[in-house]
Structure 1
């Protein structure tokens, strides 16, 4: 990327202001990805929600966020990164207000769909404005600060959400986004310069792929609806079968459209000529499905069975995120030395052990004896996975496709969580208002932890058998063999 005419520096006031805008904006999205789980029991009770309603409260957000995040990045390149970033912030804040004002679950779920769409415009923009605006010498430091400080919101999210649920109302986990959004807008208008891909703006570069985004969303929505509604309607009911058909056809036509569009596609299918890229994204879906399923059940179980408050439930997972923040850099350095296969194989096994420890938690459990050991072991396992996975995905393709590869891997992680939250209640026999009954939730929770541990072991086997470094003279996809890529997959 060329150096902007007025590139920002980290030590300048404008540089710090632009960084503040990006961190606060991405922090809102990360916060709403974690904080809602803590609020599920309380909002479920107030809105008289079924388990399907709670599933859609989580999955409505994840579905539109995963389906449109690549499109959001392409729109920013075409029409202006700051412009789309600001539109995303306003959209996200407006949808958050609608969530907080919800009077029934239908209203809440619809607002969560809108919130995810706003996040899809906002998420790629928060990083792309840094990449496009900062001087090359400061770009790495700016992105590193963005990554670290945005991660703090993930760590604090469950605690802050639990406090707001207990002290105020579950509605405040959404209302709190409004003052944050106002601060982001003021900072972005003051300090973030506009930028765009001029080649794309003239029609010569990557085109935004609306048909691909809509078909991808349709495929995900069909499968998700079928999984969530099957317990209530029956697996062979007409609406469930039609949803499966819509999901399958949406996925098939998505692949066909993307293949036809070539490099103009939202997801260039040539990326999958890299066997490593394909395997790593399959691994991502599997591992993040386990993480999403764990987070969904754990927060509800601690409150409705163990009897903890929302704030205590939020605090329970903070050590896991702290381990991730403190250990990810070391895990990335280890992977660079020895290759990704060993960390990606050992990490899920360690995380599975943590889930099996947490499976034993029951009424009257002690945090220090029964909960903390499992949370820490699970966090150590995830730490061995996250940084090596990200680095390996980017190294598996040419530098030209780094942005779309990263975006697709981010979407794959959200799809994994979406599918797990949709499927696990069906697999463990939890339906209706059973999540509020200890006798029904306890066996369902333990079954879900076993399923999630099993998924992690499948992920470990996938990495151990299929993650290999390509031959040393092989070039990443879409890059000539005689070129010199900036990075190659580490030794495995």
Structure 2
């Protein structure tokens, strides 16, 4: 197999792993009634089957990104994939709701180890003028994994059993592991020392805040205030500590001095929030308010995944030609338009199948937006800080997505007596978030290398601290024997 084919085979292994961890964010929802009938949990227990995964997935991303820098992203990715396969098999064997939640947390931790690594590895696999296409495909898989969860979950639950929504991950991960061992390039890692205090304060601070966001319905107002205060203090200590750590920082905050990384982070926060947070209210509206069945509701949203899959490679090539700014602006503008279209269907109470038009526009937005944001973020950092940058970028995307889910849940709960108004407000808020993303996209560099001269300063990394920045880069990234 020639070198080009090897690169795309390596990308396929990365995409298979990334697909399953995003699939498992949404695949459980449609199987929840079957899980409830079989294991007989209360509502809170059933909620934590999904929330436990989201919490364990979101919190350790910063640490996982730095572990990739230290021990080689290939090793961390493949170790996470192996752990994910084992946890998935155990989820399918869970004898009670308590065990299922525990194994879902294990799944989330394994997913967190995997999630930051693909961006770093794609940068290693592809030269600059090929990365846009690769990241475009990566973006389409990200969208498809999230949106196909309810479809695949419904099909497996109806034809086989709810346990197969977890067991289906095992062969996928096994195939991807074999491909990854063969075709993902490895390296000897770096001499970056770990940051235990940063790991503890960031993990604890994010954990408390995300737990409060997910569990707010079961908490009193004083408990929520206390949790937010504790989380904020821990994160303030983390930020103060990181400013003193220099190149060894778990999250080099100096990265945000780069206009490209800063703008890409804000835009991907808006993109992740809107795309993830709109999935549940859309499904609820189509099924509970408009009376569609689970498979009918899934079919209404199918144009999103189909359009994104078809257009993403071409969108990635466009990014390679023209740079990230114009594609990102168009993608975020189409995201806002899709949410407004779906919101109009809700407010005007017209035929729910018109939501499919909004889903098709959303598919174009997904195809066009993910690639330039990822490309701009990773091109704006030095290679020595790639793992940390990927961890920060993934953390921003995931934490804001969880925040969006919690916000939409609060709106739906607060306006539950008027479903049409509640759903209308949700889509209006998400459209506003998308507009914020459009504004951020206008601040992206016109080309992927526009921030180049300031990379070392932005990452707060000196050449002498990381010899691989220059002549030793090729040696540092040689595959291990």
TM-score band w.r.t. shorter chain: 0.7 to 0.9
Alignment CA distance shift 1:476-1:455 (3 Å): same
In the alignment, structure 1 residue 298 sits paired with structure 2 residue 282: yes
Shift in Å, 1:451: 1.8
Cα deviations by residue, 1:23-73 (Å, 9 ceiling, x for unpaired):
4333322322343344456546765554x6666444433333333234334
Cα deviations by residue, 1:95-130 (Å, 9 ceiling, x for unpaired):
223433456655444433221110122334567677
Matched pairs, number: 457
Please report the TM-score for the alignment, with normalisation by the length of structure 1: 0.76
Question: What's 1:278 paired with?
Answer: 262
Alignment CA distance shift 1:145-1:293 (3 Å): closer
In the alignment, structure 1 residue 455 sits paired with structure 2 residue 433: yes
Structure 2 matches for 1:166-245, cutoff 5 A? 166-186=158-178, 191=182, 195-197=186-188, 200=190, 205-235=191-221, 237=222, 239-245=223-229
Question: What's 2:296 paired with?
Answer: 312
Alignment CA distance shift 1:392-1:365 (3 Å): same
Cα deviations by residue, 1:303-343 (Å, 9 ceiling, x for unpaired):
33333333333333331122223333444455566664554
Shift in Å, 1:276: 3.5
Alignment CA distance shift 1:83-1:401 (3 Å): closer
1: CA distance between counterparts of 2:65 and 2:450?
Answer: 32
Cα deviations by residue, 1:219-270 (Å, 9 ceiling, x for unpaired):
22222233344344443x3x21221122111221221222222211222122
1: CA distance between counterparts of 2:220 and 2:136?
Answer: 49
Question: What's 2:455 paired with?
Answer: 477
SS at match of 2:278: helix
1: CA distance between counterparts of 2:342 and 2:42?
Answer: 26
Question: What's 1:397 paired with?
Answer: 381
Structure 2 matches for 1:10-21, cutoff 5 A? 21=13
In the alignment, structure 1 residue 123 sits paired with structure 2 residue 115: yes
Alignment CA distance shift 1:460-1:9 (3 Å): closer
2: CA distance between counterparts of 1:474 and 1:138?
Answer: 15
Shift in Å, 1:354: 1.8
Alignment CA distance shift 1:55-1:380 (3 Å): farther
In the alignment, structure 1 residue 264 sits paired with structure 2 residue 248: yes
Shift in Å, 1:379: 2.4
The one of 366, 369, 389 aligned to 1:382? 366
Question: What's 1:60 paired with?
Answer: 52
Alignment CA distance shift 1:252-1:57 (3 Å): farther
- Is the 2:140–2:309 Cα contact (8 Å) retained in structure 1? no
- Is the 1:25–1:122 Cα contact (8 Å) retained in structure 2? yes
Alignment CA distance shift 1:355-1:142 (3 Å): closer
Alignment CA distance shift 1:442-1:60 (3 Å): farther
By relative contact order (CA 8 Å, sep 6+), the higher-ranking structure is 2
Deviates more, 1:315-324 or 1:16-25: 16-25
In the alignment, structure 1 residue 246 sits paired with structure 2 residue 230: yes
Deviates more, 1:158-167 or 1:74-83: 74-83
Question: What's 1:488 paired with?
Answer: none
2: CA distance between counterparts of 1:126 and 1:335?
Answer: 19
- Is the 2:340–2:427 Cα contact (8 Å) retained in structure 1? yes
Alignment CA distance shift 1:366-1:240 (3 Å): same
Please report the TM-score for the alignment, with normalisation by the length of structure 2: 0.78
2: CA distance between counterparts of 1:135 and 1:294?
Answer: 33
Any stretches of 5+ residues in structure 1 without a counterpart?
1-6, 486-492
In the alignment, structure 1 residue 326 sits paired with structure 2 residue 318: no
Shift in Å, 1:180: 2.7
Alignment CA distance shift 1:244-1:136 (3 Å): closer
Deviates more, 1:40-49 or 1:349-358: 40-49
- Is the 1:215–1:251 Cα contact (8 Å) retained in structure 2? yes
1: CA distance between counterparts of 2:358 and 2:266?
Answer: 26
Shift in Å, 1:294: 0.2
Cα deviations by residue, 1:206-231 (Å, 9 ceiling, x for unpaired):
23334333322322222223334434
1: CA distance between counterparts of 2:139 and 2:274?
Answer: 24
- Is the 2:129–2:320 Cα contact (8 Å) retained in structure 1? no
Alignment CA distance shift 1:136-1:387 (3 Å): closer
